[in-house]
Amino acid sequence: MAEQSETLQTVGEAIKPVVPRKHIPHIIKSLYGLTVESCKEFDSYDDQNYHVMVTDQSENPYINHPEPDGYVLKILNKMQSKNPLLVGNSSIFVF
């Protein structure tokens, strides 16, 4: 478990992840075997969230038919990602 000092945010500390939209297609392809057609960033406070539309082709053996409405990719902030209970109970790629 993380030390208390590691789980408390300091004043002025930036905790929101910085993952440029141009990197999302590579992330989705490498982690999920899906090809991105488009992605749009949602407004969020501490995390980064993207609505991702993918092609109907999948290289992932567990996804036979990609969702036509797309997916939400959630990238946790650095404080939440230090909490294994929180990370273990959330799905990073929301179906």
Q: Which residue has the higher pLDDT, 27 or 16?
A: 27
How far is CA 94 from each of CA 10, 11, 45, 69, 91, rounded to the nearest angstrom?
30, 31, 18, 12, 6
| Mean pLDDT estimate for the chain | 79
Band (pLDDT 50/70/90 cuts) for residue 69 is: very high
C-alpha to C-alpha distance for 27 and 46, rounded to whole angstroms: 20
Name the phi and psi angles at 50, rounded to 5: -130, 140
Q: Which residues pair with 51 in a beta bridge?
A: 40, 72
N-terminal to C-terminal alpha carbon distance within the chain = 29
Band (pLDDT 50/70/90 cuts) for residue 91 is: low
> What pLDDT score was predicted for residue 34?
97
> pTM to 2 decimals?
0.70
Q: Which residue has the higher pLDDT, 80 or 51?
A: 51
Contact 29, 52 (CB under 8 A): no
